[in-house]
Amino acid sequence: MGARRLPTKDMLSRFGVVMDGGCGMCSSGLESRDHLFFDCAYAKEIWTAILLSCGLSQTPLDWYGSFQWLLLNLKGKSLLVHILRLAWTGFIYFIWEERNHIHFGGTHRLAGAVVSCIKESVRIKLHITHMNRIDDVNRELCIY
């Protein structure tokens, strides 16, 4: 499913499927693709924590600005680049999962719990690929 076709509340409200279009994670703003992944304070906290774990920082951007940043910074075959690729896909997956937990189950995890899920996912994928998981740049992300 393309990113423009995510069934976010802004899109669902246009079709009359939902009436409340607010973000369930931060309770401020309309739940759109851009808000959910880049404007939401909850999502920003998670992505910032992941980047800090890798020794990086980035000013939160919009959807296209973030992809430009990713394209520029996720080149090569270094361990850090591999970890960031895994962390990015984990971030998207777990933010959407958290959105669904809130929307359908009424449960909400703290941002730190989602960060832990992303880190664990990265660790498992690194272990499966038998990569050396420890170096000075990403030691915090990879510590068991």
Confirm whether 107 is domain-assigned.
Answer: yes
Confirm whether 116 is domain-assigned.
Answer: yes
Q: What are phi and psi of 30, to 5 degrees?
A: -80, 135
Domain containing residue 42:
3-13+23-142
The distance of Cα 114 from the centroid of its chain, to the nearest Å, equals 9
pTM of the model: 0.81
Q: How many domains does the chain have?
A: 1
> What confidence tens digit (pLDDT) does each residue in 8-25 have?
877 777 777 766 778 889
Give the confidence band of 65 by pLDDT, cuts at 50, 70, 90. Answer: confident
Please tell me the predicted confidence (pLDDT) of residue 143. Answer: 47
